[in-house]
Structure 1
Amino acid sequence: MTSLRTIGTPRLLAGLEQGRADLGRHLATQGPLPEITREAYTELAAAVGLRGRGGAAFPVALKLADLPAKGIEAVVVNGSESEPVSRKDRVLLTMAPHLVLDGATGLARALKARLVVVAVHDAAAASSVRAALLERKDGVEVQVSDTPGRFVAGEARAVLSVLEGGPPLPPGRKVLPTRKGYHRRPTFLSNVETFAQLAILARLGSQAFSSTGLISEPGTQLLTIAGAVEQPGVIETPTGTPLEAVLRFAVASPGPVLVGGYHGKWLTTPGDRSNVAAGIVLVLGTDTCPLGEVHRVAQWLASQSAGQCGPCVFGLAALVDDFERLLGGDPAGWHDAQRHLGLVPGRGACAHPDGSARFLASALEAFDDDVRLHLAGCCGRAVQGVLPVPGGAW
């Protein structure tokens, strides 16, 4: 079971100390959900600068404003948390399903959507949501759809493809779901935490919601922290909490920190001004070989290719080979990696090659000393498997 902890007063994780919240305990903790209009949701989201919590960080108010006034086809909850490190969304679906459903169904009624679809690939999370639906009467149809756990299958357009009976792949066309979403109809789609935040915002209002966190984007956020830490798990913290404070709270070992997961970037000196803007914090420590760890992840990222474009199919495979040769002390591996990293970004059919290249380029920059050691012979450290990949321990 994932450990849950909070810095400050919990909101999303409130009332979960005793385990999963059924409807009775959920209402006793959070109170009833007020019925508010589409305009009120838009105004509230704009007032607190609420952004999607799935990675793209798109402003929720702008997404709402882009939807047609006459109503939409569906509200889609993207629970396909396929990032190997992240646990925050499945924690909400498993432990606080009613909070997520409040946000989704409340917004669906306001948007005049006929359907809410919860797309989820984790079996325990799906079971929890289905059990929660038996306790509720929402006045809107809610479906729970199982999705694959493949990395690229969590991308918004890939989720829509699966829901429509298609392959778990993001299509080459880049059309916003607000224009052409579920069955080519306007759709509001966001990740699990976004809907939980909307449920909190609807209850608190903008002033109370803004009583903690950053002025520009107040409230709290969920972080998954893992790796070389004594207390891994999911942490709820005010937005703007310095990364250094989060690391102290989790009793982290010294060493580089990966923020944003396997499409994120490495930090070697996370200081007081390094705010946590991503939902994943992974501490590498100093006992393992950094380049070896990154090479393992690069192999996995290449295996997750959607197979739709050259930068993903050939570019990521080439980078795996480059890093393998670099590990073996071949200077050509380093030079080829630099060349390939310049060719991959901006040319793919989806975000996977760009994100993978960002992760690998950041590693070469952050681990420059380790690169030099390998080119001189060996860094002297074994690969401990601190960076989790599917099939390994977490």
Structure 2
Amino acid sequence: MTIKNVPPLQRHAIPPGTAALADHEALARQHLNDNAWAYFSGGAADEITLRANRTAWDTLVLQPRILRPLAGGHTRTTLLGRTLEHPILLAPMAFQHLAHPDGEHASAFAAAALGAGLVLSTQASTPLEDVAQRFLADPAHGPLWFQLYLQHDRGFTRELVQRAEAAGYEALVLTVDAPTHGARDRERRALFHLPAGISAVNLAGLAPPPSAPLQPGESALFDRLLHHTPTWDDVQWLQSTTRLPVLLKGVLHPDDARQAAALGVAALVVSNHGGRTLDTAPATAHALAHIADAVQGALPLLVDGGIRRGTDVLKALALGASAVLIGRPALWGLAHAGAMGVAHVLRLLRDELEIAMALTGCATLAQATPALLQNHATGRMGI
């Protein structure tokens, strides 16, 4: 595939001694101003869920196993009918030009080069067609999905879906956990704003919803905004209007998971929006096991939130996930080193995953079962 009208990427070097995702975060802080840092790093309210996403993985202890045959092992897995070289995808992240001038182009290049899946945000700061062109040009690319927020205008949403289909996206990831923004105190304290020239370009031309002045006693949220938020009926409408598989992102409750499975959605993403919506919502590592128990293998599960090590990836798979989504760490790599930074983050995670597999006696990901895990708080095996 010839890449047309796509600008060349900036070249960066990874600083010597960058050995972990935490190093990328520290480097990113040196490159991002307070405005961008508040947006990318912050969570909702007191950021309890934001912190819990990270610490929840730490409460799970991996049990080493010895003297097992490991030669010829690999990280390959299958997802929605595709073979993936490893189970790591880039999560949808908005406004990546806020982190680096190459924005989503850099993330697409890095993900494709590393065989990682890419989920492009509706609120990307780069046209979805350009990102697809960059990503699909690499023959080793992984799956390409489009994250979707249903808009108040169904006609506009349908056209957006058709654009994604025509550009080569293979699935739609419908975010269902954000009918409204969380109370993001860190953003409000920083007076967050999008700089000139950065916008959700794929939503250009969307007219605002019709509205009338609030009457005494009315709520701007309940009497205006929430009249346009999606319901289960809208999930069925989306399934009827696209030929692509539809995944739901933002599922934490087992009953919601069962209802989604009954509707025949393609997969679920166990997610709390990176701790950016409802503070004190469950950490995704804790929710994942309950969702896996609820659906009993009826559909694939993915998970995001707080994953910072290859050991976390292995724990997620042992809890029932087929793959994981990586968000903020990729942005940290992007912020200080562009495409090279994103690629280095992905490489570190895959290398650490292979190490963790070897040290727990797993030659393949199919051997990652709950028997690998021990709860640090209870000491019990086989969570």
Q: TM-score range by the shorter chain?
A: under 0.3
TM-score after normalising by structure 1: 0.27
**Structure possessing the higher radius of gyration over alpha carbons:** 1
TM-score after normalising by structure 2: 0.27
